[in-house]
Structure 1
């Protein structure tokens, strides 16, 4: 059983995210923020936000695989980025990597910088492995 997503009446449409996500019973898994960082700590994607977002999402997927999560098990996503108004670019890259336009509840936070010089985005997720 995967998550259920809702858009309550009276709230604006949710482009690239869902307002409400209901998790099934199970084990909660917290994936630390992932950036577009290769194993040698080099930044993947240069100064291209779309490429960095896709690379960060691929790192998220590696962590999810280790925990036994699928994209449908993700109930919350938080994005920290130096370009928060570029949510269209971010959403397109996320959808490309996850292979769908089904999004969990999400927050995008604008920041002045990240722990790795040149990194533009960090993505963390919370998921539930069904019972």
Structure 2
């Protein structure tokens, strides 16, 4: 939801509230790694992002959640070449069917867990107890 005193952001909602009988799901920062802990798509932000989103979708499903249950996301983006397109400038797919995305924070960092990682994302989701 967006408070009426503030404009509605097109990419995320400003506030999410949760009440009732539910299960909270916290998903740790997902990095662009393969099953051997090697970085996938070195140097390709979009490919790393898509790999991460696929992994997050698997984790949501394992917890009985969907993208529509996500109530918060945090995106860590490696800062680098100031002339390179920013992560928000790339035409990447949206996930979930909500007209307003969950509250979200993007944080520029100088380094992630491996020098080839360009992005890392963690999530919080809320699932009704009847589904969890």
TM-score where L is the length of structure 1: 0.81
- The total of aligned residue pairs comes to 122
Structure 1: 4+ residue segments shifted above 6 A: none
Bigger helix share: 1
Larger radius of gyration: 2
TM-align CA RMSD: 2.0
TM-score by length of 2: 0.81
2: distance between equivalents of 1:67 and 1:93?
A: 25
Counterparts of 1:57-68 in structure 2, within 5 Å, are: 57-68=53-64
1:24-62: CA deviations, max 9, x gaps?
530111000001111111222221111111111111111
Counterpart Cα distance in 1 of 2:14 and 2:35: 34
Aligned residue among 27, 30, 35 for 1:34: 30
**Structure with greater strand percent:** 1
Q: Is there any run of 5+ residues in structure 2 with no aligned partner, and where?
A: 81-85
Q: List gaps (5 residues or longer) in structure 1.
A: 1-5
